[in-house]
A and B are shown apart, each in its own frame.
Chain A
Amino acid sequence: MARVVVRDVEKAYGTTKVIHGINVEIADGEFVVLVGPSGCGKSTLLRMIAGLEEISGGTISIGEREVNRLPPKDRDVAMVFQNYALYPHMTVHDNMAFSLKLRKADKSVIAERVGKAAEILNLTPYLQRYPRQLSGGQRQRVAMGRAIVRDPQVFLFDEPLSNLDAKLRVQMRIEIKALHQRLKTTTIYVTHDQIEAMTMADRIVVMHDGIVEQVGTPLELYDHPSNLFVAGFIGSPAMNFVEGTLRRDGGTPVLEATGGRLALPAWVPGADGQKVALGIRPEHLSISATGPSSLDAVVEVVEPTGADTHVVAMAFGQQVQAVFTERHAFAPGARVALCPRPEAIHLFDTASGRHL
């Protein structure tokens, strides 16, 4: 196990810069998720840590050792890929034993390590099967087993669950997290799925266009997004934004938007006349009586999930989503007043995107 330090790391392909000076410190034993939309640079960064891509600038250290020029096999990392990358002509046992065999490990060591990894991953009954005889979840477990037997300093995961269906993804998510709790190996995990990031990470690194937008624990990012990008990316259904101008004439601050005016709590920051975006999560809206601090809305679509009711409505000339834990049987076209929970209101500067 080891800590990983990424310092001022840059990546360019020819004259195209794809990563613009990234700094991340990952503590020994930590589970860190790199998340962002496709093209944000998260997989490139992971591949640079693995040694599969050259580093154009900056340094990467694993343990106390700078690894910029170290070939992948000497970095003491093990990577799990989205497509599993299993050898189709080898049994589960041989797939898992392969790296140890290459290193000419003792037969008894191989048997012991493969046996132990198979037991951890519930693969013992399948050791003599071939990959084609396994389900998607089992193949992903074999790929993880192959990483475990190497007993590396760091696990690297590259979108390992993207090929699995929804139910299996939830199950494997829990398995990977339980595995990390047991082995406590430093883990760097790449995904585009914010729900995987939220549910698995000790800390999340949100990336976008080759820079880091924010680093923090899952609930820090959810509660205190530092900018519009993170606010819109973390949380599902996504945070609602209403753009307008902040007015402070008289007592209560007011958001003046094209479709109406909304009274804001007294504590909100920002200057009179400032262009702002109000951010409110769907789960922080409730049905209220019409008033200065509610949004008059017209219901468009009602989606019951059983546990919750999702409502899509038009308010202030734009679409707003609300999630209620109660059941509501609104008909499309019904008028409702949606009241943001005051302490859950976010204000962003429209020009910079920064949280005020």
Chain B
Amino acid sequence: MASVDIRNVRKAFGSTQVLHGVSVGIEDGQFVVLVGPSGCGKSTLLRMLAGLENITAGEIAIGDKVVNNVPPKDRDIAMVFQNYALYPHMTVFENMAFSLKLAGAPKEFMDQEVQKAARILGLGQLLHRYPRQLSGGQRQRVAMGRAIVRNPQVFLFDEPLSNLDAKLRVQMRAEIKELHQRLKVTTVYVTHDQIEAMTMADKIVVMNHGHIEQAGAPLELYDRPANLFVAGFIGSPAMNMLDGRVDGGAFVDAGGTRWPMPPGHGASQGAEVVYGVRPEHMRLDPAGVPARVHVVEPTGSETQVVLKVGDVTIMGAFRERISQNPGEALPVSPDVALVHLFDKKTGKRI
């Protein structure tokens, strides 16, 4: 186990800069998720950590050692890929034992390590099967087993659940998290899925266009997003964001609707701001803003409603069941303590 320090790292492919000076500190034993839309640079950064991409500028240290010029096999890391990258002609046992065999480990030791990893992952009965005889979830477990037997300082995961269906994804998410709680190996995990980031991470690094937008604990990002990008990216359904300005004690949206301002806000009179409310922080309120139902989506445990306030479309997620039909009135108010304000020009939280 080891800490990882990424210091002002840059990456360019020819004259195209894809990472613009990124710094991340990862503590020993921490589970850090790099998340962002495709093209944000998260996979490139992970591959630089693994040694699969050159570092154009800056430094990466694993433990206390700068690894910029250390080849992948000497970095003491193990990577799990989205497509599993299993050897099709090898059994589960052989796949898991492969790296130890290459390292010239004695047979007894190899047996013991593979058995141990197989036990942790519930693969004991499958050791003699071939990858093609396994389900997607089992294959992903073998890929993880292969990483575990190497007993590395750091686990690297590159979108490991993207090829699995929704139900299996939820299950494997909990399995990977449980595994980390048990082994406590420093882990860097890349995904484009904010829900994976929220539910798995000790710390999330939100990336966009080769920059870090914000780094913090999952609930810090949810409760206090530093800017519009993070506010829109974290949380599902996404935060409602209304353009408008501060007028007296209220926020006035583009259609002229007045919304209550959060207590102690720092926005100045007349300022152009973006008013952010998460769907789950909208409340049914007969004295609220005059919204009309556009589409009602019951999920069973809650009801998501697309609402029109004038021409402005907003989303509400309510614990209550909603019986109103499209076109009917459904006045709502935001939970005013949970309203976010952003500067329109800079996009930064006020």
Contact = CB atoms under 8 A, between A and B. Distances in A.
B178 interface: yes
Contacts of A218: 298, 300
Chain B at the A interface: mostly helix, strand, loop or mixed? mixed
Interface stretch (A43-51, A147-155, A169-177, A269-277): A169-177
A301 B178 contact: yes
Contacts of A281: 300-301
Nearest to A305: B198
Given A199-B304, A305-B195, A327-B219, A173 B297 contact: yes
Given A325-B319, A332-B181, A306 B298 contact: no
Nearest to B302: A283
Tell which of B193, B222, B294, B301 has the most Cβ of chain A within 10 Å.
Answer: B301
Given A166-B193, A304-B198, A305-B198, A181 B301 contact: no
Interface in B224-261: 234-238
B319 A198 contact: no
B299 A198 contact: yes
B173 interface: yes
B134 interface: no
B300 A198 contact: yes
Contacts of A312: 174, 178
Contacts of A167: 236, 238
Interface string B191-206: 0010100111000000
Contacts of A332: 178, 181
B143 interface: no
A234 B300 contact: yes
Interface in A313-350: 323, 325, 327, 332
Interface string A119-140: 0000000000000000000000
A303 B300 contact: no
B11 to A, nearest CB: 25
B200 to A, nearest CB: 7
A219 B321 contact: yes
A292 interface: no
A306 B222 contact: yes
B295 A181 contact: yes
Contacts of A327: 219
Nearest to A310: B199
A289 B112 CA distance: 44
B273 interface: no
B317 interface: yes
A177 B170 contact: no
Interface in A103-118: none
Nearest to B177: A301
B340 interface: no
Interface string B297-311: 111110010100000
Contacts of A238: 167
B170 A237 contact: yes
A96 B158 CA distance: 40
Nearest to A282: B301
Contacts of B280: 307
A195 interface: yes
B178 A181 contact: no
A306 B181 contact: no
Contacts of A236: 166, 170, 299
Interface in A187-211: 193, 195, 198-200
Contact of B178 (A166, A300, A306): A300
A235 interface: yes
A81 interface: no
A160 B96 CA distance: 39
A45 B199 CA distance: 38
B181 A301 contact: yes
A237 B173 CA distance: 13
A229 interface: no
B122 to A, nearest CB: 13
Interface in A209-264: 218-219, 222, 234-238
Contacts of A200: 297
A307 B317 contact: yes
A310 B177 CA distance: 13
B170 A306 contact: no
Interface of A: 166-167, 170, 173-174, 177-178, 181, 193, 195, 198-200, 218-219, 222, 234-238, 281, 283, 300-301, 303-307, 310, 312, 323, 325, 327, 332
6 contacts: A166-B193, A167-B236, A199-B304, A237-B170, A304-B199, A327-B219
Given A177-B295, A305-B199, 14 more contacts: A166-B193, A174-B306, A195-B299, A218-B300, A219-B321, A234-B300, A236-B166, A281-B300, A301-B178, A304-B219, A306-B278, A307-B235, A323-B301, A327-B219
